[in-house]
Structure 1
Amino acid sequence: MSRKLLFLVGDYVEDYEVQVPFQALAAVGYEVHAVTPGKKPGESVKTAIHDFEGAQTYSEKPGHNFTLNADFAKVNADDYAGLVIPGGRAPEYLRLDPAVIALVKAFSGKPVAAVCHGAQILTAADVIRGKRVSAYPACRPEVEQAGATYAEIAVTEAVTDGLLVTAPAWPAHPAWIAQFLAVLGAKIEL
């Protein structure tokens, strides 16, 4: 089994949802690649920091630049053990790219994790029908229209349904990363 994982990102990906899991999964021994259509390795995407500050929705602030380390045009799903789709605003436009949809479908039968608005890509790819899926609450209508059951859980929780791991937002990192590692079959000894 491959020890490589693929992150599908784009400009204004949520900062914590890409930085933290990218580093955490690398720290436990995975070779982690990050790609986006139209950009090459060494280029970067802008990130946004979303926070929960008592408003009706999250606030958004500029994040960091996140450097890509692989080429989207050369990615082959067969080379990877799993796929991670962080949220933020990137999924709203990435889902419009037919090559993104084809790539997500190519991960059928493999572990996939999506956080927050990452579910927008899963719904567009029509890969969650019949599944129990968490996402940021604003994505609930899309999740349900795609034939999935929306899991209304705490922002610190995650849901696993078969090989799919989903979470509502970055506060769920401990839960979804642990569940994703379990789905990957990883063994971590302390």
Structure 2
Amino acid sequence: MDGKKLLMIVGDFGEDYEIMVPFQALQAVGHEVDAVCPEKEEGDTVKTAVHDFRGDQTYMESRGHNFALTASFDDIDPTEYDGLVLPGGRAPEYLRTHDEVLEAVRHFTDEDKPIAAICHAAQILAAADVIEGRTCAAYSALEADVEGAGGEYYDGVTTDGNLVSGRDWGDHVEWLSQFLDVLGTNVEHSEPVTADD
């Protein structure tokens, strides 16, 4: 398998599972992932948040991890990447206010490169004006945002061309599976090595 070079745009209080799980899983199957945040440098950290449902009308938020960035946003060039990952959480609220984030998203859209967006990442897609005429999943409370941006909301995991989207971290297995398909990743399984071998 030829590993791809992927860009992940994160920020403070992005959803912990939606950052950590794809970051690690995509590397585990041979891809290189650069995690960046506007106004932060390689080695800086973002604070994550864990979103969970415990019987209330919406999710509750708990402090997650300090997640270390692997590259500096100002040093990256989107043209050098094969795909884009946009986690959810609260970070997309403010990431969408950065022109350089929106320009990066438009690059991946214009060049038909794979994009994986989950949960509140739809806020970034809407701000970049790349949802119109497309089917897009997101956290359920963002249905109006998707439709307001001219898209069709989907309650599940969906692939529309180069865009793979999901509702929340509960969709990880299907969301990552569909993203790997769009990337052209063929995961080969080998027999585990045991102590007797």
8 A contact 1:2–1:80 mirrored in 2: no
Structure 2 match to 1:139: 142
Cα distance in structure 2, aligned partners of 1:76 and 1:126: 21
CA displacement at 1:2 relative to structure 2: 6.7
8 A contact 1:111–1:184 mirrored in 2: yes
C-alpha RMSD of matched pairs (Å): 1.0
CA displacement at 1:189 relative to structure 2: 1.4
Structure 2 match to 1:174: 173
Structure 2 match to 1:122: 125
8 A contact 2:164–2:179 mirrored in 1: yes
8 A contact 2:136–2:154 mirrored in 1: yes
The structure whose Rg is larger is 2
CA displacement at 1:75 relative to structure 2: 1.5
8 A contact 2:3–2:30 mirrored in 1: no
8 A contact 2:3–2:32 mirrored in 1: no
What residue identity is the alignment partner of 1:59? M
Structure 1 match to 2:183: 184
Q: Which runs of 5+ in 2 are unaligned?
A: 190-197
Which runs of 4 or more aligned residues in structure 1 lie more than 2 Å from their structure 2 counterparts after TM superposition?
Answer: none
Q: Which runs of 5+ in 1 are unaligned?
A: none
For each residue in 1:17-73, what CA deviation from the matched residue of structure 2 results, as whole angstroms up to 9, or x when unmatched?
000110000000001110010000000000000001111000100000000001111
Between the aligned residues of both structures, percent identity stands at 54
Cα distance in structure 2, aligned partners of 1:178 and 1:125: 25
TM-score, length basis structure 1: 0.96
Cα distance in structure 1, aligned partners of 2:138 and 2:117: 8
For each residue in 1:92-133, what CA deviation from the matched residue of structure 2 results, as whole angstroms up to 9, or x when unmatched?
011011111111111121000101001100000001111111
8 A contact 1:4–1:31 mirrored in 2: yes
TM-score, length basis structure 2: 0.92
What residue identity is the alignment partner of 1:96? T
Quick check: 1:55 aligned with 2:56?
yes
Alignment map for 1:142-153 (pairs within 5 Å): 142-153=145-156
Structure 2 match to 1:92: 93
